[in-house]
Amino acid sequence: MTEPAMDSLEYSHPVPLETLGTSPKQISLAVGEHERAALAKRFELVSIESFTADVTVRRVPGSLLVEVKGTFAADIVQSCVITEAPVAEQVREAFSVHFGPETYNEAEVDFELDDEDPPELIENDVIELGEWIAQLLAIEMNPYPKAPGAKLEGFVDEDEPAEAPTYRPFESLLAGKKDQV
């Protein structure tokens, strides 16, 4: 997925650092109709029916980091990967992320699988919350939506129990052995 330039974002909600303190700041987002249509086009969706988020933002005491926690909800419609029929999906997710200055991301660091992700980048003393949540939607939605009953010929559907194989490669050997007895 390519990141659009900051001045061409489909949905933008900048949070300037100067507006933040160590006390939590509550932010409720409701993405408008035009922005939802633009995001749907960008993510190749049929539509985004609703897209909201409730977020708490605060500076981490004694640090250059900013903590962003919250939940988002989106009702989207995608095309079935087999039939192209519309497939509705509700995407709901809780998140917690840190944002930090560029210096946090420049250090060469070895990461372990269980380590916390490095902080997201703060550019020009502004956290672009709208774009970050839009990207989270793109990550969390089903990458292969399938309409109910849609089947791809010649492939086993993981949702249905597999049939017993009809080919028995050693059956001819067993038949030959019976003839010898």
Rounded to whole angstroms, how far apart are CA atoms 79 and 23?
Answer: 43
Rounded to whole angstroms, how far apart are CA atoms 77 and 8?
Answer: 24
Rounded to whole angstroms, how far apart are CA atoms 51 and 175?
Answer: 65
State the number of CA atoms in the 13 A half-sphere of 118 facing the CB: 14
Look at residue 118 in the predicted model and tell me its pLDDT: 82
What torsion do the CA atoms of 143, 147, 153, 159 make, to the nearest 10 degrees?
80
Asked if residue 60 lies in contact with residue 67, where contact means CB atoms within 8 angstroms, the answer is yes
Look at residue 1 in the predicted model and tell me its pLDDT: 43
32-37: which pairs have CB atoms within 8 A and are 24 or more residues apart?
Answer: 35/10, 35/11, 36/11
Asked if residue 64 lies in contact with residue 98, where contact means CB atoms within 8 angstroms, the answer is no
DSSP letter assigned to residue 104: H
Whole-Å CA distances, 2 to 43, 135, 138, 181 = 10, 10, 12, 71
Asked if residue 97 lies in contact with residue 120, where contact means CB atoms within 8 angstroms, the answer is yes
Q: What is the pLDDT along the chain (181 residues), one digit of tens a residue?
A: 445 555 588 999 999 999 998 899 999 999 999 999 999 999 999 999 999 999 999 999 988 899 999 999 999 999 999 999 999 999 999 999 999 987 755 555 555 666 677 889 999 999 999 999 999 999 999 999 999 988 887 766 666 665 655 666 677 666 666 656 5
Rounded to whole angstroms, how far apart are CA atoms 42 and 112?
Answer: 33
CB neighbourhood size of 106 (10 A):
8
Look at residue 21 in the predicted model and tell me its pLDDT: 81
- State how beta strands 120-121 and 86-100 pair: parallel
- Residue 69's nearest CA partner among 82, 55, 84 is 55
